[in-house]
Amino acid sequence: MNLRTFSAALALLVSLPLAQANEFLPLSQAQSEAMGLHLAPPIPAKTAAGPAWPGQVVMPPDGHELLIAPLNGRVVRVHAASGAAVQGGEPLVTLFSPMLVQLVQDYLRAQANEDLARQTLSREQRLMREGIGIERRVREAEIALRQAHAETQGLATRLTLAGLDPKRLSQGQVGAELVIRAPRPGSVLMLHTTPGAWLDEGAVAVELGYTERRWVEADLPLEQVGGVLPSQPVSIEPGGLRGLVLAIAPTAEPQRQTVRVRIELPQGSTLRPGQRVQVRFEEAGTLWRIPASALVNLNGQEVIFVQRQEGVQPLTVEVRSRSHETALLGGALTAEDRIVIRGAMAIKAAWQSQHEAK
């Protein structure tokens, strides 16, 4: 719109009766065309696609477990594949462990020492009752038994952690093979070993999952996280899924200046832990997305101009976030309203000119 056309339109507006009560500014079709106005409905934010942010699928901490090798050994068999469902007690990996042989021998030796210490204490107590024993020797025998018992129990605990029942060792049912079993029903998320591989004591052998719950974690820039709220809907691709914001980290990552947002995926999601996804945060409630060009500052307030039956009206809005192209705001809008998305500055000038004439 050139200066001559704008001046003519402004003259037409100034000649209108002053707005009353609700501060409406009536506009004819000719005036709108002369000012180059363009109107469009606001877009409900819940249906407006925001920027896409990268995220990664993770499993809740209480939903998975890392099974480690309790002793050194070489993998001789792998019994389950990644993704397989397993039952409690089901074998997952078998190791050949020379350390297991030594551990069994140490346990049997400690068990024999404990039996001998118990016999010694029993003999010293009998001699004491017969009046020919010495109390000091009884006390020494009691101490020796306690020490022997502690050693036996410690080795028994290590055997139990290795998946062996110490009570069965004396029956000759133990070899050099050590089996890592699933502690309860679940699914194999990942195998960290293959047949022939050597596993050190404490190395991860299998990762098990016990729940179908999945999270997505995304790192958002500080300037974007302010528009994210708990329980806010989130669109997730691939899969066309819709999750909800579960938590927002209270602190920022110092190097990248980002904040981690955790999203709860719907039950039964087929997304796998570690999978990369794209997330879009949907703005819930009575929020609207409009072109940034529709916003103007009028008397120190952010406003938009809305065309209603009585005419054009400035409406004060709450701007939640904005970019170069769009703005997210709250206000008393409806989907039937038409807002001035082009020519807002011309309307502002006409509005101010008319009110100065009051």
200 and 307 belong to one structural domain: no
- Domain harbouring 216, CATH code: 2.40.30.170
87 and 194 belong to one structural domain: yes
CA distance 6 to 205: 76
220 and 200 belong to one structural domain: no
71 and 203 belong to one structural domain: yes
83 and 189 belong to one structural domain: yes
pLDDT of 170 reads: 58
Which of 209, 227, 258 is the endpoint of a domain?
209
Q: Is 184 left (phi over 0), alpha (psi -120 to 50) or beta?
A: beta
- Domain harbouring 154, CATH code: 1.10.287
β-bridge mates for residue 178, sequence order: 95
pLDDT of 230 reads: 87
Other beta carbons less than 10 A from residue 62's beta carbon: 9
pLDDT of 70 reads: 92
CA distance 244 to 247: 9
Question: Residue 155 sits in which domain range?
Answer: 98-171
Other beta carbons less than 10 A from residue 317's beta carbon: 23
pLDDT of 18 reads: 35
Residue type, 167: K
For residue 267, the SS3 value is: coil
68 and 121 belong to one structural domain: no
DSSP string covering 180-242: EE-SSSEEEEEE---TT-EE-TT-EEEEEE-----EEEEEEEHHHHTT--TT-EEEEETTTEE
90 and 182 belong to one structural domain: yes
β-bridge mates for residue 163, sequence order: none
For the chain, how far is it from start to end, CA to CA, in angstroms? 27
pTM over the 0.85 mark? no
pLDDT of 11 reads: 45
Beta strands 186-191; 204-209: pairing state: antiparallel
CA distance 152 to 13: 99
- Domain harbouring 339, CATH code: 2.40.420.20
CB 344 within 8 A of CB 295: yes
For residue 139, the SS3 value is: helix
CA distance 121 to 184: 43
List Cα–Cα distances, 140 to 120, 134, 144, in angstroms. Answer: 10, 10, 6
Tell me 253's DSSP state: B
pLDDT of 183 reads: 92
pLDDT of 3 reads: 45
143 and 277 belong to one structural domain: no
pLDDT of 47 reads: 53
β-bridge mates for residue 198, sequence order: 74
124 and 236 belong to one structural domain: no
189 and 319 belong to one structural domain: no
194 and 234 belong to one structural domain: no
Which of 250, 281, 312 is the endpoint of a domain?
281
CA distance 317 to 304: 7
- Domain harbouring 75, CATH code: 2.40.50.100
> Residue 215: what are its φ and ψ, rounded to 5°?
-120, 160
Number of domains making up the chain: 4
223 and 90 belong to one structural domain: no
Which of 259, 281, 303 is the endpoint of a domain?
281
pLDDT of 152 reads: 95
CA distance 108 to 103: 9
List Cα–Cα distances, 110 to 113, 160, 172, 306, in angstroms. Answer: 5, 16, 17, 89
**pLDDT by residue for the chain (358 residues), tens digit each?**
444 444 444 444 443 333 333 477 777 788 887 888 899 988 876 555 568 899 999 989 888 899 999 999 999 999 999 888 899 999 999 999 988 888 888 999 999 999 999 999 999 999 988 888 889 999 999 999 999 999 999 999 988 888 788 877 755 556 788 899 999 998 898 899 999 999 999 999 999 988 888 999 999 998 888 778 888 889 999 988 989 999 999 999 999 999 999 999 988 788 888 899 999 987 655 678 889 999 999 888 899 999 877 778 898 888 877 778 888 787 778 888 889 999 888 888 878 877 765 5
